[in-house]
Amino acid sequence: MKKLITCALAALSFHASSQANVVYEWQGNNNAAPFNITLRMEFTDAAFDAGAVHVRARQYQFLPNTGLVAFHYTFPGLAQPVSYLPTERPFGEGELLDMDIVFEDDLTLSGNFKAIGIESHVFMDSVGSLFTVTNANSDAGMTWAGCAPWTACSGATGVFRQVPEPGSMALVGLGLVGLARRVRARRGTPPAL
């Protein structure tokens, strides 16, 4: 039992130190193009606690204190991803990000954004937490994402859900181990190591 308590305390201290950022990922929920897009946003805990993030970024701006840590968007094909790391480097030539995001109580997001990269862009708006791609395109084309060549693509819907952090997953695992040990102890089965 002492080992279990020691492990729990260690996991809790790991959990507290691992809470640096909050991550959300796109989960599409219809069969409209663009297909198979990947969109991941990472925010500071302070931004999450404040309840919203507002970013107006233009090329060459360095914006380390907006609450946005990372933004990454890709789709199937050969195009260069739209990827921003505003806490680490300035926005590049031609890059733009307009973002108004609200953190909802059900661990989803609502709001809108326009992200423009070197050769691709994606615009999304939400009604509640349901986001819709209103415009996506790429200089390299988006045919592998189900879009006609050189034509703006829209219609995919989905939500952004918070990704559980590793510390939380460790605590869940530790709890399951403790529960299994307790059940075995009640049955008279020696606990496994």
What pLDDT digit, counting tens, does each position of 70-84 carry?
999 999 887 788 999
Q: Is 17 left (phi over 0), alpha (psi -120 to 50) or beta?
A: alpha
pTM of the prediction?
0.77
Angle at 79 between CA 91 and CA 92, to 5 degrees: 10
pLDDT band at residue 178 using 50, 70 and 90 as cut-offs:
low
CB 100 within 8 A of CB 111: yes
Of the given ranges (44-58, 98-112, 140-154), which has the lowest mean pLDDT? 140-154
C-alpha span between 136 and 155 (Å, rounded)? 10
In DSSP terms, which residues pair with 110 in a beta bridge?
102
Among residues of the chain, what percentage have pLDDT more than 70?
Answer: 77
Of the given ranges (13-27, 37-51, 61-75, 111-125), which has the lowest mean pLDDT? 13-27
pLDDT band at residue 14 using 50, 70 and 90 as cut-offs:
very low
CA 127 → CA 68, 102, 114, distances in Å? 22, 12, 16
C-alpha span between 52 and 192 (Å, rounded)? 46
